[in-house]
Structure 1
Amino acid sequence: MASAPQPNLPLFYKDLMPLNSRDHADWKVGTLEDAAFMADTHAVPLTTDEFIDAQRDFPIVFTIGESPLPIALFGLNEGVNTFMGEDNKLNEVVYVPAYVRRYPYMLARLHPEAEELSLCFDPSAGVVGKKDEGLALFQDGNQPTEYTQGVLEFCRRFEEAGQRTKSFMDELKKLDILMDGEIAITRADQPDKPFVYRGFQMVNEDKLRELPAATLEELNKNGMLIVIHAHLFSLNLMRTIFERQMAQGKMPALEGAAN
């Protein structure tokens, strides 16, 4: 059972193994008892398909660099997740990004030159293995069960959403409406010492408004405009997350970063 190549594993994944009927015919999948894998994660990747749902609970910003990606902020500082309790479970009902829901599975290329993606899983999660109880992964020797087919379909849809997200980000860069973000939040007891958060990107509202009418109309028709607005509306939750951190005693030094 060879693991897939893993020079740079994505967030959450510590190992990656291709799922196949030869090695895993009698394996089963149990239930993740908690979400310890994301307990110290403050930023989770997001697809544009999820902006409308996610903007109700999290600020949505974009990473810095040449290839920015959308992220949902569970906290404003590295290692701070304000939605996780001490039991490593969500402490309230919020939207859970698809990136989290697909774990410990993902589609990956087994070899750099491979054209097709294969369904893989993280064996370190401990949820997939030789178990007495759980859902079977294969049946009749080598046929994927309904559960496995569902996982594969979910991961396929996630990859498709990822492609739509890339197209969205490419268009934002083409329109040149992204800017470096900076949020300064003050506490009532220290009005002269703001907490400053940088290290992320956001849409420049002034540049958005200045786009030609024909461009704005096209953005409205192709659905991008409502996604952009969801991002902008979500920024109001920066203070909400800040207050959650303060209530949980997770406040950093006065200079922080949201990425």
Structure 2
Amino acid sequence: MPNHAILTADAHRNLKVRNDRAEDAGDAVMCAMVVPDEFRQVQNEYPILFRRNLEQDSFAAFAMFGFEDGENLFLEGRRWAARYLPLSIAIQPFLIGRPAGIDAPERQVHIDLDSPRLGSDGVRIFEEDGSPTPYLEAVIEKLRVLDAGYAASAGFFAALRRYDLLEPLSLEVPLPDGTTHRLVGFHVIDEAKLRALDPAEIAELHGAGHLMPLYMALASLANIGLLVARKSQRLRHG
């Protein structure tokens, strides 16, 4: 069961957050959720794939870091070898919550007290007087951007479904030993269907702000080859 708590200066004044990136800090993940508002930055580094939640019958977008659970090919020692860190990774161990029992727009900053990012070394969350440190203020801004992006993404995913713009991806990753690894369960933008939309439909997507992230997601697929190269290099050199 998650050990989340509302972040307060009284309860968490002395907590510190690790600012390195490593497996033992919880960064050994294959992918992370991203929102359309950050697709422009994400596509510079990572493939953007989509996955369907069958229980909720909904889609979400993910930046891909590897091809199997627990594999992050961007981890090099104690650093993340990319220029952009997806917001859902950058905000950890913090998250957005709501007051219990209230269905309202109020938001609270929560913290995962079981996160391996918390420890005796790292960056302070609060100053000695209980005021937020610049680090926490920056995290709060990232949380705000991520929360707004998540709320705005509903229209984007509705448009993908309305125009049937997602197709299943089945990717075979060649390995240095001659075997292949298959990546299944993800979707990508169907470029042929996007090209086939009529001018009115394109105008609707553009007017709603959906066209740019669509093209960013398409452009990001060029990073699949780079990710395969990272995988091959990792296997060759360990």
What is the TM-score of this pair, normalised by structure 1?
Answer: 0.76
C-alpha spacing 1:153/1:240, structure 2 compared with 1 (3 Å): closer
Name 1:109's counterpart in structure 2.
98
C-alpha spacing 1:42/1:171, structure 2 compared with 1 (3 Å): same
Give the counterpart letter for 1:23 in structure 2: A
Q: Is the 8 A contact 1:185 1:239 kept in 2?
A: no
Please point out which of 45, 63, 73 is paired with 1:72. Answer: 63
Give the counterpart letter for 1:101 in structure 2: A
Tell me if 1:175 matches 2:159.
Answer: no
Which residues of structure 2 form unaligned runs of 5+?
A: none
Give the counterpart letter for 1:225 in structure 2: L
Q: Is the 8 A contact 2:32 2:88 kept in 1?
A: yes
Give the counterpart letter for 1:27 in structure 2: N
Which residues of structure 1 form unaligned runs of 5+?
A: 1-6, 10-14, 251-259
Q: Is the 8 A contact 1:139 1:145 kept in 2?
A: no
SS in structure 2 at match of 1:75: coil
Spell out the pairing of 1:168-247 with structure 2 (5 A cutoff).
168-186=156-174, 190=178, 195-247=181-233
Q: Is the 8 A contact 2:99 2:107 kept in 1?
A: yes
Q: Determine the C-alpha separation between the residues in 2 that align with 1:148 and 1:183.
A: 40
Query: Displacement of 1:233 after TM fit?
Result: 1.4
SS in structure 2 at match of 1:40: coil
C-alpha spacing 1:30/1:211, structure 2 compared with 1 (3 Å): closer
Query: Displacement of 1:22 after TM fit?
Result: 3.9
C-alpha spacing 1:21/1:197, structure 2 compared with 1 (3 Å): closer
C-alpha spacing 1:238/1:38, structure 2 compared with 1 (3 Å): farther
Q: Determine the C-alpha separation between the residues in 2 that align with 1:188 and 1:246.
A: 6
Query: Displacement of 1:244 after TM fit?
Result: 1.0
Q: Is the 8 A contact 1:43 1:73 kept in 2?
A: yes
- State which drifts further: 43-52 or 165-174: 165-174
1:160-208: CA deviation from partner (whole Å, max 9, x where unpaired):
0111223211221122211211223456985xx6543221011111221
Q: Determine the C-alpha separation between the residues in 2 that align with 1:188 and 1:133.
A: 39
Give the counterpart letter for 1:154 in structure 2: K
Question: Number of paired residues?
Answer: 231
Spell out the pairing of 1:150-165 with structure 2 (5 A cutoff).
150-165=138-153
What is the TM-score of this pair, normalised by structure 2?
Answer: 0.82
